[in-house]
Amino acid sequence: MIKRIQPDARMSQAVVHNGVVYLAGQVGEPHEDVADQTRTALAEIESLLAEAGSDKSKILMATIWMADMADFETMNKVWDAWVDTANPPARATGEAKLAAPDYRVEIIVVAAV
């Protein structure tokens, strides 16, 4: 069975299948700085995981896209304060041109349910 969370015509914010939840990329508000965008994205991730019956301790993999790697340390400070240090996921971070010029960070996670 496939469960789609917050679907619209283009995409779902999350999809659950075979005990795994796949989240769409989460971003903050365009007017926020990178730290606040990271906090906003992580809060949305927590909310979507809860809706899927999961939580941050069950994150298997995180992919983080940064508009500018100069913001890496700022994002990491927020991430380090948020991540479940007893259950840290595998993680990759890279630089990419994001969907809108004001987005500084986008976070994608896959988690067990």
Please state, for a pLDDT cut of 90, what percent of the chain lies above it: 100
Task: Specify whether the CB–CB gap between 111 and 16 falls below 8 A.
Answer: no
Which among 92, 105, 113 has a CA at the least distance from the CA of 29? 105
The DSSP string of 53-73 is T--GGGEEEEEEEES-GGGHH
CA distances from 92 to 7, 27, 62, 73, 87 (A): 26, 16, 6, 14, 16
Q: What is the structure's pLDDT at 28?
A: 95
Give the list of residues 6+ apart from residue 99 with CB closer than 8 angstroms, or none.
Answer: 27, 106
Tokens of 5: 């969370």
Q: pLDDT, tens digit, for every residue of 33-65?
A: 999 999 999 999 999 999 999 999 999 999 999
Q: What is the structure's pLDDT at 40?
A: 98
pLDDT-based confidence at residue 90 (cuts at 50, 70, 90): very high
Rg (CA), the chain: 14
Q: What is the structure's pLDDT at 32?
A: 95
Q: What is the DSSP letter of 1?
A: -
